[in-house]
Structure 1
């Protein structure tokens, strides 16, 4: 029975990755919150982000587990490289003006597309987790929980503060993913 419980190191690593990926959702939540959406739209967006932060990494994990059979010898390099790429991409993206993302945030389809796009990073991270044989249930629960919580936090911050914090959150998340990727490459 104790064999099925993930070790503390895996729980900590997955939690850090989940929070780092959720920083993107925090950033978009801040931007959307500045537009002062209705309570219903805030709840819908939060639920959509949490949903896609569960579905996308789960798909990635299954793809990664499938691919790990064929690239077992270089799985650490590929997974670590993907985390470095993902982190670097988040940092670079944070310096771009992302106002165009919020053009259709008033519609349900727009909210769905935004939540899906913010969760694409989770697909790549899930692929890395599949290559490393991470506990998929723990990973998707942590990813979904952090995506949802950081989205609602971002929406609330955006309603009250402004946009300056969103960029820093995304930079921090990207740096964390990059550092984790480097540690996987060095193992």
Structure 2
């Protein structure tokens, strides 16, 4: 996987966490740097671990599905990307943001936004990739984007979050299509 594809994947996987962080920041009267760093660290750690777990599950299953692995990667990435874009279109931009600040809520949100990274990890098990590099790239992008999202949330709120989520979803769909194209033309 090329560095550009890894960067696109990392940013695409981080968009859900960015949106959640913007919402969390929008719900705070004035988000602190400590809150932003804590949120970024939690989201980043979870987003680093989930593609690794997904990859391990995919490796176990890969021997049974080698003939259709490119289709599985395409369907999983396309499905995750499509869900992200569809969710963005269905979300009410005017809905108020809940401002629960507990660590348990933060962890639950981090896990919820990282399920798609686990599905991507499963699809990556069928490709010849360095999963550690990819997981670290996803974790780093998520940490940076979530930290910035908290701080920017006060100013951006729900106004631009929808567009970021759509772009992230389309990027994942494009990555899945690229994997399928590369396999079918090789």
Q: Normalization by structure 2: what TM-score?
A: 0.88
Structure 1 unmatched ranges of 5 or more: 1-8
Q: 2: CA distance between counterparts of 1:75 and 1:126? A: 13
| Alignment coverage as a number of residue pairs | 179
2:7/2:137 contact within 8 Å kept: yes
CA deviation after TM superposition for structure 1 residue 133, in Å: 3.0
Moved over 6 A (4+): 98-101
Residue 42 of structure 2 aligns to a residue whose secondary structure is helix
CA deviation after TM superposition for structure 1 residue 97, in Å: 3.5
CA deviation after TM superposition for structure 1 residue 163, in Å: 1.6
2:25/2:151 contact within 8 Å kept: yes
Q: Which residue of 2 aligns with 1:19?
A: 11
2:13/2:116 contact within 8 Å kept: yes
Residue 44 of structure 1 aligns to a residue whose secondary structure is helix
Alpha-carbon displacement from aligned partner over 1:3-37 (angstroms, at most 9, x marks no partner): xxxxxx43221221111111111111111110124
Q: Normalization by structure 1: what TM-score?
A: 0.88
Q: 1:50-69 counterparts in 2 under 5 A? A: 50-69=44-63
CA deviation after TM superposition for structure 1 residue 164, in Å: 1.1
- Establish whether residue 32 from structure 1 lines up as the match of residue 27 from structure 2: no
Q: Which residue of 2 aligns with 1:91?
A: 85
Alpha-carbon displacement from aligned partner over 1:52-82 (angstroms, at most 9, x marks no partner): 1111000011111221111011000001111
